[in-house]
Amino acid sequence: MSLLIINAGSSSLRLSLFKQTSNGLVRLAKVRHDGINDHEVSLLGDFITLVGTTEITLIVHRVVHGGTRLTTPCLIDARVEAEIERLILLAPLHNPSALAWIRLARRLLGEQVPQVAVFDTAFYQSLPAVAATYALPQVLCQQYNIRRYGFHGIAHRAMLNRWQKISSKIKDGGQVISVQLGSGCSITAIDHGEPVDTSMGFSPLEGLVMATRPGDLDPTIITYLQQEAGLSAKEIERILNKQSGLLGLSGDSGDMRRLLDSDSSDAQLAVDLYCYRVRKYIGAYLAVLGGVDAILFGGGVGENSPQVRMKILQGMEWLGVELDLASNDNTTGKEGCISATAGRCEVWVIPVDEAQIMAQDALVITKNRGDSR
């Protein structure tokens, strides 16, 4: 069996091809495209041509929001597709793109090739009630399925799985804070393999400052802008999803690399606020967990920006978090321990391999249905 993995983010597309062998999954090809806002036929078509259409027997998609009904990986049928579409209101940057790729793959490879959806929200279905519940009238929450869903679950699972192998002497990896920093950003507190809190909530807008999203926000700002600025709900949605975060703060760019190179005071504030918000959440999750065995950095910024990692963690020695500056500087785009030996908490950079997790989940689905192609 060969698996085509389609991982569409808010601004990137990653394609991979795996083959199931007697020795496990083997990656045959992969490609990444950045700056993708809409589906593009040529990108998938070119990749299919590269690997050969006869090689693909299963297609696997990352879907950001599965809501309360899609809580485990599943084969995509009309019911699943309709539910992904229904949830567009809660993930307007992601679910429309996932649907577009599902339909494009069906058109290019045919109805006969099964497709599987793996959901970012699934990892957080078992969040404790205190972490999953909003202090709103519970009648409304129950009627409209309002809860903290959590996102980036596949990425956090990937970091956790790798850490559990690295730390095999610590039961289930112990207590971990995983930090996913890219165009979208999130942080998760994990206690012996189980997530107990996470920064993203009802939608991917909550939590950390992101490339174009603001993170935590006083909800009165929304009604204030409606009343005082006369903005519509759609206009405010566009501002929150596409014009805020690093871009809104700097007035220039949502690209961390560009902001780090800039002399602008607005760019500096954007970087400082971005790092401050991560630092603030780490402190909160240290309190939630009662201590931590490891802090893990992943994602485009987390894996490739020593400067950002240093700004986040500097001055936290009193909590047992201490960087080895040379190791931090020398760890870019690769796995490595960047903490000082004197620290009580290990700090690691772990390149996030969502495709591997998605492929493994898909194999479980096909095995359960007896598909041995």
The Cα 25–Cα 19 span in angstroms is 6
Q: Which candidate, 58, 39, 67, 34, places its Cα nearest to that of 110? A: 58
156 and 273 Cβ atoms separated by less than 8 Å: no
Going across the sheet that includes 194-198, the strands are 194-198, 185-191, 175-181, 294-298, 346-349, 336-337
| Residue/partner pairs of 99-102 with CB below 8 Å, 24 or more apart | 100/38, 100/39, 101/6, 101/8, 101/39, 101/44, 101/61, 102/61, 102/76
Q: CA distances (Å), 165 to each of 36, 172, 204, 364, in order?
A: 33, 9, 29, 21
Question: For residue 165, which amino acid is it?
Answer: K
Which of the residues are catalytic? 120
Handedness of CA 298, 302, 303, 306 (dihedral sign): negative
In Å, how far are 105, 175, 191, 312, 344 from 296, measured between CA atoms? 34, 11, 14, 12, 14
Check if the beta carbon of residue 94 is closer than 8 Å to that of residue 64: yes
Pair of tokens at residue 286: 């240290």
Beta strands in the chain (DSSP E): 2-8, 12-21, 24-34, 58-63, 74-75, 115-119, 175-181, 185-191, 194-198, 294-298, 336-337, 346-349
Q: Residue 350 in contact with residue 161, Cβ under 8 Å?
A: no
Please name the helix (run of DSSP H) or strand (run of DSSP E) that holds residue 344, with its range, or none: none
**What residue type is 256 in one-letter code?**
M
* Helix/strand/coil for 305: coil
